[in-house]
Amino acid sequence: MESQDIELLAIGAGPANLALAVALEELAPGDLAERTRIVEQHDSVIWQRGMLLPWTQSQVSFLKDLVTLRNPTSRYSFINYLHSAGRLDEFINLGTFTPYRQEISGYLQWVADTLATVRIDYGRRSTGITPLRGRDGRLRGWRTGFADGSQITSRHLVVGSGRDARIPAEFAQLPAERVIHSAEYSARIAALDPAAKQRFVVIGGAQSAAELLWAVHQGFPAAETTMVMRSIGLKNYESSKFTNEVYYSSFIDDFFASPGPAREQLLREMHLSNYAGLAPGLLETLYRQRYLERLGGEERLKLITMADVVSARFEDGEVVLTLVDRRTGRSSELAADHVLLGTGFEGRMPRLVQGLADQLGLAEVTVTRNYRLVLPGEESGPAVYLQGVNEATHGISDSLLSVLAGRSGEIVQDLLGRRDQPGLLVDAA
């Protein structure tokens, strides 16, 4: 069984930990970057792997890349990526601040490939984290296990592997091959015959659900496509310039310092800016398509609004959903061949983090302003940093590209401040 000892292990090679790698190379002494490892369960870096559709665009400005807001002169900027790929003139001529998703994905792989010091190991899926203590009971480090039986022991950890997919209980007992969450869409939809007469039901009423609806509508020209949502209809994102000020990195200080009720109000009022809406272009596309189909008398794109899915069963080779109309209380049934879930991700901590918290005896998972897991009685020594899961304490931007550059710099500075503390695994039991 392979075992390795390093100073810093970062789990997940997504945007968060790639931004961290860049910050380490630019801000940290060479030996810290050299003793850092990123592990990624897949064999490449792909942004939004499940929904990397050719026509999808980011909702965030390209200037909010991995580094520009922290270091505008960095060689790891999105602009430098375009220049190195020979596409800078074309992108400028496109006249947009929001690149196509596939181009951001290419940028992230380019950053991963051009890192000078920090190493990325692909094909390593983490299965659990174990705290390591010395004979005095003090923490000395962390042991991360992987699916292949190997282990890495590290003084510090950064977990940036994202949240767990949300699978509502109504769909959990259906045959797995009949239910596709958006996180798995691109890989799993390829197994279906695009010429077959399929019946797709999409659950959800926000951007990911709408992208699923449009993808199967276009990719399966003989299919019936129906979206089921609780809301009264599809809505635009709230994206005024005033609203967008809460996505500034500087706003995190204000949010973190706010009392609980103020945080809750901010999250509630900002919900439509990130979770419950659609990009205007997609909203217009869907409305025009439905209009044209009604005009032509053959409606393949359907919306069922104000409806709850109260149960789902697999019967006679099809999925049968029981819907309850929220206006009338009446029940109806809707049959489908496949259910597509645009239901997002769990608000709770990921299983990997919660498993570690349970071993540490933490009643709750909370972090400092610098994203370090609060470990009572262990203010010095080994640390764990959590990326992208701190919305409750750091605001609605925490899971987005908007804050990556600043956050990675803050984590690196916090790490540097802990380097003179007791060493890794001294007198470990």
CATH code of residue 10: 3.50.50.60
Q: What range defines the domain where residue 68 resides?
A: 3-164+346-416
State yes or no: pLDDT of 297 exceeds 60: yes
Per-residue confidence (pLDDT) for residue 347, from 0 to 100 = 87
The answer as to whether 82 is a domain residue is: yes
Per-residue confidence (pLDDT) for residue 3, from 0 to 100 = 60
Residue range 107-141, pLDDT digits in tens: 999 999 999 999 999 999 999 999 999 999 899 99
State yes or no: pLDDT of 156 exceeds 90: yes
The answer as to whether 270 is a domain residue is: no
The answer as to whether 284 is a domain residue is: yes
If you average pLDDT over residues 243-256, what whole number do you get? 92
> Rounded to an integer, what distance in angstroms lies between the CA atom of residue 145 and that of residue 366?
23
Kindly indicate the confidence band of residue 420, based on its pLDDT and cuts at 50, 70 and 90: low
If you average pLDDT over residues 50-77, what whole number do you get? 95
Q: In 10 A of CB 89, how many CB atoms?
A: 10
Per-residue confidence (pLDDT) for residue 425, from 0 to 100 = 45
290 & 189 share domain: yes
> Rounded to an integer, what distance in angstroms lies between the CA atom of residue 329 and that of residue 172?
24
Residue range 332-343, pLDDT digits in tens: 999 999 999 999
25 & 142 share domain: yes
19 & 112 share domain: yes
The answer as to whether 428 is a domain residue is: no
State yes or no: pLDDT of 406 exceeds 80: yes
Sheet-wide strand order for 199-203: 179-181, 338-341, 199-203, 224-228, 301-304
286 & 156 share domain: no
333 & 204 share domain: yes
Per-residue confidence (pLDDT) for residue 428, from 0 to 100 = 37
Number of domains in the chain: 2
Per-residue confidence (pLDDT) for residue 379, from 0 to 100 = 76
- Among 323, 341, 359, identify where a domain stops: 341
> Rounded to an integer, what distance in angstroms lies between the CA atom of residue 172 and that of residue 167?
6
114 & 144 share domain: yes
Three-state DSSP state, 159: strand
The answer as to whether 255 is a domain residue is: no
195 & 330 share domain: yes
CA angle 181, 367, 242 (to 5 degrees): 70
Phi–psi pair at 26, nearest 5 degrees: -95, -25
- Among 297, 313, 341, identify where a domain stops: 341
State yes or no: pLDDT of 378 exceeds 90: no
Share the mean pLDDT of the chain: 93
- Among 308, 341, 374, identify where a domain stops: 341
Residue range 133-148, pLDDT digits in tens: 999 989 999 999 999 9
Residue range 319-371, pLDDT digits in tens: 999 999 999 999 999 999 999 999 999 989 999 999 999 999 999 999 999 99
> Is 314 within 8 Å of 171 (Cβ atoms)?
no
150 & 212 share domain: no
359 & 334 share domain: no
177 & 136 share domain: no
If you average pLDDT over residues 308-315, what whole number do you get? 97
17 & 41 share domain: yes
Per-residue confidence (pLDDT) for residue 276, from 0 to 100 = 85
If you average pLDDT over residues 200-223, what whole number do you get? 97
317 & 361 share domain: no
The answer as to whether 141 is a domain residue is: yes
Q: Tell me which long-range contacts 166-172 makes (C-beta under 8 A, separation of at least 24).
A: 166/341, 166/343, 166/344, 166/345, 166/346, 167/341, 167/343, 168/203, 168/309, 168/341, 168/343, 170/309, 170/310, 170/311, 170/312, 170/321, 171/203, 171/309, 171/312, 171/339, 171/341
> Rounded to an integer, what distance in angstroms lies between the CA atom of residue 9 and that of residue 385?
10
State yes or no: pLDDT of 422 exceeds 70: no
And the tokens for 185? 């869409």
